[in-house]
């Protein structure tokens, strides 16, 4: 009986194999196989396709949905060298509340960027104004000095249509070579912008083409260096734009700054002339009030 059953199975398989020889059935089988493979093909495998800087820019420019926006950020500062051990065994850096501040950002894609840096009492400490090729930076607080990279909204910089503005954002982070390659980082494939093996590079998500992290290094007086990393996370859709709610800065893997998005307001108009006039007034009068009518 077993032999009879095996013969039946063999005959059935043989007949099925013979039927596949028919051109129409063979074609149908190949088409089904192709569809099956395409459905099961992991999305991550797309990242293995090589891209040039021009190709990557073409993909990234379509991720910019905002045109005019006003952002408000809350910035917390930590001491990365003063840590305590949490119950879970994780090292937690000491929060320095006296160093925290607020940012108000006015932005128009590829044209305007105005950054107000204020303390918790609302006093203006630093001002950055940029309109196309013109820029103005003013340190207002007599004690506290802000580095331009410290206040710059790096992710917002990448939401540009023009590749030269994205290149400017990379140069601000000491990334001078726009070579694109694939790299394996934290169990995921990423596009990397920058020379392989360099400390200065950016990582791009191959599925969304959004900026994931920026990497650089800071040299110390003794010739050694700290590794600097800016990580963007907790992405959420704001007014059709996918944007990180959290930006964290790490020094040798230790957290020293956290930027949390508090508010995002899409604007129908950005009064460029008024912004410049008020920026100039604030340079001369540190405590001038900036009231802009965005409805006009």
DSSP 32-80: HHHHHHHHHS-GGGGGGS---HHHHHHHHGGG---SEEEEEEEEEEEEE
Q: How far apart are CA 26 and CA 30, in angstroms?
A: 6
Are 56 and 191 in contact by the 8 Å Cβ rule? The answer is yes
Of residues 278, 289, 292, 272, the one with CA closest to residue 68: 272
What is the SS3 assignment for 147? coil
CB atoms within 10 A of CB 181: 14
Cα 97 to Cα 32, 74, 160: the distances in Å are 61, 12, 34
Return the pLDDT at 220. 86
Return the pLDDT at 33. 59
Are 114 and 273 in contact by the 8 Å Cβ rule? The answer is no
CB atoms within 10 A of CB 247: 22
Q: Tell me whether residue 116 is exposed, middle or buried, using C-beta atoms within 10 angstroms of its C-beta: 0 to 12, 13 to 18, 19 or more.
A: buried
Q: How far apart are CA 31 and CA 40, in angstroms?
A: 14
Return the pLDDT at 189. 92
Q: E-strand spans in the chain?
A: 68-85, 91-95, 101-108, 112-118, 124-131, 134-139, 180-185, 188-193, 201-204, 211-219, 225-238, 241-251, 254-266
Taking only the tens of pLDDT, the chain with its 296 residues reads 444 544 544 454 445 444 444 556 566 666 665 655 544 444 444 445 678 999 999 999 888 899 999 999 999 999 998 988 878 878 889 999 999 999 999 999 999 999 999 999 999 999 999 988 888 888 889 999 998 888 999 999 999 999 999 999 999 899 999 999 999 888 889 999 999 889 999 999 999 999 999 999 988 888 899 999 999 999 999 888 999 999 999 999 999 999 999 999 988 877 777 777 767 776 554 443 333 433 33
* Residues in a beta bridge with 246: 233, 260
Return the pLDDT at 22. 53
Cα 221 to Cα 175, 181, 224, 255: the distances in Å are 22, 33, 7, 22
**pTM of the entire structure?**
0.77
């Amino acid at each position: 009986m077993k032999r009879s059953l095996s013969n039946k199975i063999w005959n059935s398989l043989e007949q099925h194999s013979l039927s596949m020889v028919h051109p129409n059935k063979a074609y149908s089988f190949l088409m089904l196989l192709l569809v099956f493979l395409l459905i099961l093909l992991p999305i991550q495998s797309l990242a293995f396709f090589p891209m040039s800087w021009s190709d990557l820019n073409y993909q990234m420019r379509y991720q910019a949905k905002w045109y005019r926006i006003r952002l408000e950020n809350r910035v917390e500062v930590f001491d990365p060298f003063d840590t305590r051990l949490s119950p879970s065994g994780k090292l937690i850096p000491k929060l320095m509340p006296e160093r925290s501040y607020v940012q108000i950002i006015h932005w128009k894609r590829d044209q305007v960027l105005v950054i107000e840096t204020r303390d918790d009492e609302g006093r203006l400490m630093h001002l950055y104004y940029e309109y196309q090729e013109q820029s103005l930076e003013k340190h207002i607080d007599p004690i506290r000095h802000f580095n331009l990279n410290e206040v710059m909204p790096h992710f917002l910089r990448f939401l540009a249509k023009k590749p030269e503005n994205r290149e400017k954002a990379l140069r601000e982070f000491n990334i001078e070579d726009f070579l694109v390659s694939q790299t394996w980082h934290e169990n995921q494939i990423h596009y990397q912008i920058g020379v392989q093996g360099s400390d200065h590079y950016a990582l791009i998500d191959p599925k969304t083409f959004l900026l994931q992290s920026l990497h650089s290094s800071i040299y110390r007086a003794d010739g050694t260096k700290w590794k600097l990393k800016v990580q963007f996370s907790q992405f959420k859709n704001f007014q059709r734009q996918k944007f990180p709610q959290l930006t964290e800065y790490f020094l040798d893997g230790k957290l020293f700054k956290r930027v949390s998005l508090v508010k995002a307001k899409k604007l129908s108009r950005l009064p460029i002339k008024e912004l410049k006039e008020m920026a100039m007034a604030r340079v001369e009068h540190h405590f001038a009030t900036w009231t802009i009518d965005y409805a006009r």
